[in-house]
Structure 1
Amino acid sequence: SAGGLMFGIINIVGNFGTVFVDQAYWQRAIAAKPSSTVKGFLLGGACWFAIPFTLATTMGLTAIALDVDLTPAQAQMGLVVPAAATALMGEIGAIMVLTMLFMAVTSAGSAELIAVSSLVTYDLYRTYKNPNATGKQLVKVSRITIVAFGLGMGGLAVVLLAMGLSLGFVYLAMGILIGSAVVPIALTILWKRTNKVAATGGAVIGLLISTTTWVLVAASLPEYGGVVDLASLGHNYSMLFANIAGIISGGVIAIVGSLAAKSTFDWKDLKDKITLVDMTEEDAAKLTEDEETLKKAFKFSVRGGGLMTLVLIILWPMPLIASGYVFELGSYGIWVAISVVWVSVASIIIIFLPIIEARKGIAQVLSGKKTEKA
């Protein structure tokens, strides 16, 4: 449907932003082994996709089948899953959803706390405030940042709830607020001619363009009589054009500004100016090996990421949208079966693969043997 296509575009822009503009993802990528990073992200993405896909399919179907009474506002607040689980399994269902939600929030929240604390501690405090900071000082700043940001997240959630902003509204607005930084950030690691002022300007000016577009489109909707409120701002057209304006304008400004600045970055500076502490000859030799590993990982990421993009964005949804196909009972049953099988396989991978990969370390811990020093 047209609505599904618009939601898909909004969803893609917003999730580009949640990955590229999230320090937690960068920390995971940097901390992991080069040979494991690409496979881990591709496999993790495939497993993660099964969660919203299956929850939306099965619990949405359950809510309709059991005639769960929810208002549109309650559905926008994300209450379909807990309401359906409660109707299906009673208190046990509610407890299971609450447990799942608690684990998801604590996992994501802890990652963001660490990510923000590292940015403030190392990129701001140590870089600009106190270059000679001791380990004790860095730990202190990190802890203060974690507490402050944690309280800030909680306070912001309360404010958004008091304003009447639903979870669905915030989700759709993500790309408007952070999408303009996607292309500038990508260019900083992919294009040697990227200029820092142009990249920063693209992110900031792109944000102004996206929010301006958001308000202007909302004000132009005839069904709302030119009134700009949560209803008009949450309309598909308002969200769609603002998301697109943000990600495109940010990229255009960054590219045009970089070309005008005519600056060139030497990638060798990353080797010369960013080195490991107490780097030995053995460590230096490993860097050469890592370059070969990175080249192989890059080729794998292009093939794997390209294939997943082709299937999930083009080959799967586009024919359904273009044909206007309406599911019959049998075909919809196949759709539901695919989602259930997908999430089941993903669950097996998520639970058992880490155990298999860490089996040597687990055996070593259980046996009480110490790690042999090289």
Structure 2
Amino acid sequence: MHTWILAIVFLVTICAPLNYGSTTEEITTATTIRTDDISEATSGTTFFLPVSTVQHTCRTKLKPREEVETNTKPSITKSNAALLLLLGFGGFSILVAAAYKSLRKYVYHDEHNLDTVFDAGGRVSLSLTAVTVTSQLLWPADFLQSSTLSSRSGFGGTLWFSVGVIVDLLLFPVLSIFLKTRAPGAKTFPQIAYARFGNAGHVMFCILAMISSLIVCTSMLLAGKSALEVLTKDVNNEFIYLVLAFLFGSYCMIGGLGTTFYISYFNTALTFLSVTVFVLYTSYFPSEESKEYSSMEALYTAAICVEGPETNYEQSHATFRTESGLIYGVVLLFMATSTSFTDQANWQSRIAAKPSQGVLGYFMAAYLWFVIAPCLSVTATTIYFAMSLKNGTHLLSDNEIDNGYITPFVMNLLLGETGNYLLLTMLMMALMSTGSGEVMAISSIVVYDIYKTYINPFRKHLSPTSCVLCGKQKQLSESKMGGDFCTCSSSIGCKSCDVDITTRARVGVERIVYTCSVHGEYRRYEDGLMRYKSWCIILVVILLIPYGLIISETDVYVNWATLQLQVLTCPFLMPLFLTITWSKATSKGVISGGILGLSASISGMLIMGSTYEGGLSNFYVNTAQDYSLLTAMLAGLVVSGVVSVIVSLCTHTIRSEADAILEWAKTINIDNPIHPFRLIYEEDFAKAEVGDIITAKVMDKVFRKTKLYAGVLGSISLVIFVVILPAIALSSGVLSFDEFTAWIKGLQIYCFICTFVVVVLPPFEEGYQIWLQYQKNKRNETSSVCSTKQQDLNGESCKL
């Protein structure tokens, strides 16, 4: 429902012919252009031009600023930054983590489960999923590099940048629903490869997941370094990476993934509030000094008068017809898909929610995330152009613009030190959510896919369809089959387990002696894993510091790390997609497809990069060019997909529907015997009257409506963002003043609405969920007491 509301509001605000109190005629004498900013021949004269004709009379090319003393000087002291980040953000996050841990202990009673650490209980609400996904998608590039893109490609640059990411975000729920129905108990995507393909395929996908997380961590660490250096005085690399490691991992060790969801809410809320404050201060309640730069007339004059790139329509910034922006949008689509589909952190956010909440949450996140980059970057860039136009030259050097300094410069100039604190808050909030997600992603791979699988498995040499507890084959069909099958009872409703859990809460993990003959040994095994995961998280956080220092010494550029490293993961998209969705995919198919696709991707990048000026001797620049990236990713996708399909068709053993059911039985058997996925989906299974045996067909039946929602909402959203919105944007060449105003005001109003949704909805929905669980606990306690009294009364009825 929230998704539809946001979509309708956005279309109304964008499409409607808005009139904000000033028509073209009314502002004919309101737009002042100083001739000393445009032509040296008429220095000192001031004249007035109608906005409707300003684009034909004032076009000027800003002179580049010479590389002299920078205009962007840090204003936040190191001590203040440390207090804000370590005691403010870090201290607050630790308090939230402690509160969340208490909530799991006293309300949900599952703080002792290993899976709760990595899936937050598996029932995360729709709105909390949405704000978490939004927060993890908000990288520093959305605040810094989006302004650079607007200055280089005009309005269209940021729009196509956002559309490229949104398309990827809309495709992910459709894929993730397959994971939830084919492997509902899986905590990592490599677990599916292990169940289907064994060691070889599993190792490849583990390496892929680790590389993807390292790429994101590299981007986050370098971006955090750049942000702190541009905003904070006298910082060094050791201070920067120590602060970032603390922010990334401090609260994860206390509350696990669930705390990341709670912190992501605060991060997203603060980010949207900060953007809203910036927009309100610059566009609606500007100071007297900033009015000449931030009024709608000044913004339009700057966008029209400053000459744009040659690839733009009429070389204007006030247009969405930009060749470079469109190409970058397509490249970013592949990059974002590569990142999100192969990054375990994104799968964790999806796994932590039930299918319906996860699907709707991702769609809601797409509509929330979309507004941030266009709203902030267009406002900041046009204000910067207005300032530069008055000066006659760029106020920042080309190097400073490329490093994303437009937004910090504008916020500092208009809001002073408050602007720097606002930007620092936005950047650190984005880094905290994404960084903590990666810490949990790496830790989950180490715990589930390395330690539990190879170093210390509970039971060795199991087949994919065997019971973990007894080692015997599980029955995969409702029909009775001869043979020695598993007869282990479920932990759901197990009286001995209930006694063990109560005893453990009273005497502690170190002194408990489990009495359940079926599940006791596995509970002791998981207690050991709980201690191991804590040390694992600590180690990952500590290793971030030397890793950050190493990549700083290599002089890796932020842009290169963010863009070009995706070439390494893109060739594995199709093998991963086939692993999750196609029963005929084989180990030989996905491995050969991934390896050959990677070779094609790297070759395409190097070949295309060598065609630019300087060739591969200018490696960092030319391998990150738009066409180098586009060639690499297309080559990797096509080759990996074709090879994976052809080899799988030649090597698969699926000959009937029964064979396909057996293949998916391997992945459905991925489960925790003391915390089975049936417990999470008990209400869904009860409505569908599911029996003891769960198959892929049963899961498809139970979540048929969710699949329908994913398909319908995905199609409608794609039409909105890929057809309707681009059609509206491309229908105009150079924007008129009314069109310009409609877009700016539409984005700003949409931002205000999203801010309200982000701030209000998640705590309301989460509070309601906690209250429902509390009421359920009270009913269970009443039922338990009544049962005890009834026994004491020799079977007589009991009323409480």
TM-score (norm 2): 0.43
Which structure features the higher share of helix residues? Answer: 1
1:221-266: CA deviation from partner (whole Å, max 9, x where unpaired): 2x33564422222322212212222233232222222222224452
Deviates more, 1:295-304 or 1:267-276: 267-276
| Partners of 1:209 and 1:246 within 8 A in 2 | yes
* 2:451 is aligned with 1:43: no
Of 560, 569, 587, the match for 1:169: 560
Change (3 A) 1:174 1:248: farther
Match of 2:580 among 166, 189, 195: 189
CA change 1:362–1:135 in 2 (3 A) is closer
Q: TM-score, normalised by structure 1?
A: 0.87
What residue identity is the alignment partner of 2:737?
L
Alignment-derived partner of residue 299 in structure 1: 708
What's the offset of the Cα at 1:181? 1.8
Q: Is the 8 A contact 2:609 2:615 kept in 1?
A: no
User: For each residue in 1:206-229, what CA deviation from the matched residue of structure 2 results, as whole angstroms up to 9, or x when unmatched?
Assistant: 2232122111111122x3356442
**2:571, 2:776 → 1: CA distance?**
51
- Residue 665 of structure 2 is matched in structure 1 by 268
**Cα distance change of structure 1 residues 210 and 279 upon mapping to structure 2, 3 Å threshold:** closer
2:744 to 331, 336, 341: 336
Identify if the C-alpha distance between structure 1 residues 364 and 278 changes in structure 2 by more than 3 Å, giving closer, same or farther.
closer
Which of 394, 397, 406 is residue 71 of structure 1 equivalent to? 397
Q: Distance in 2 between matches of 1:5 and 1:371?
A: 57
Q: Deviations over 1:304-347 (max 9, x none)?
A: 112222222333336756x6822233322222122212222221
Question: Residues 196 and 100 from structure 1, CA distance in 2 versus in 1: closer, same or farther, beyond 3 angstroms?
Answer: same
| Identity %, equivalent residues | 24
1:308 aligns with 2:717: yes
- Cα deviation for residue 169 of structure 1 reads 3.0
Residue 17 in structure 1 maps to residue 347 in structure 2: no
Query: Would the alpha carbon gap of residues 339 and 280 (structure 1) be closer, same or farther in structure 2, given more than 3 Å must change?
Result: closer
Between Structure 1 and Structure 2, whose CA radius of gyration is higher? 2
Contact map agreement 1:184 1:203 (CA 8 A) in 2: yes
Indicate the residue corresponding to 1:122 in structure 2.
448
Instruction: Tell me, in whole angstroms, the C-alpha distance in 1 between the residues paired with 2:764 and 2:424.
Output: 29
Greater CA drift, 149-158 or 324-333: 149-158
CA contact (8 A) 2:684 2:702 kept: no
Deviations 1:35-59 (A, max 9, x none): 2111001001211121222222222
Structure-2 change in CA distance of 1:251 and 1:76 (3 Å): farther
Instruction: Tell me the secondary structure at the aligned position of residue 220 of structure 1.
Output: coil
| Alpha-carbon distance in 2 for matches of 1:36, 1:99 | 29
With over 3 angstroms needed to count, the CA separation of the structure-2 counterparts of 1:70 and 1:153, relative to structure 1, is farther
Structure 1 residue 98 and structure 2 residue 424: aligned? yes
Q: What is the CA distance between 1:348 and its match in structure 2?
A: 1.5
Matched, 1:243 2:651: no
Check conservation: 2:575, 2:594, Cα contact below 8 A. yes
Please give the alpha-carbon distance, in whole angstroms, between the structure 2 residues aligned to 1:166 and 1:313: 31
Superposition RMSD on alpha carbons, in Å?
3.1
| Counterpart residue identity of residue 569, structure 2 | I
Aligned residues: 371
**Bigger CA drift: 237-246 or 138-147?**
138-147
After TM superposition, give the deviation of residue 368 of structure 1 in Å: 11
Tell me how far 1:114 sits from its aligned partner.
0.7
Change (3 A) 1:14 1:317: same
Structure 1 unmatched ranges of 5 or more: none
Q: Show structure 2 runs of 5+ residues with no match.
A: 1-321, 389-393, 459-523, 655-659, 689-698, 784-800
Residues 58-82 of structure 1: CA deviation (Å, up to 9, x unaligned): 2222222233722333233232222
* Farther-moved stretch of structure 1 (289-298 vs 204-213): 289-298
Q: 1:181 to 1:152 in 2, by over 3 A?
A: farther
Q: Which moved more, 1:227-236 or 1:207-216?
A: 227-236
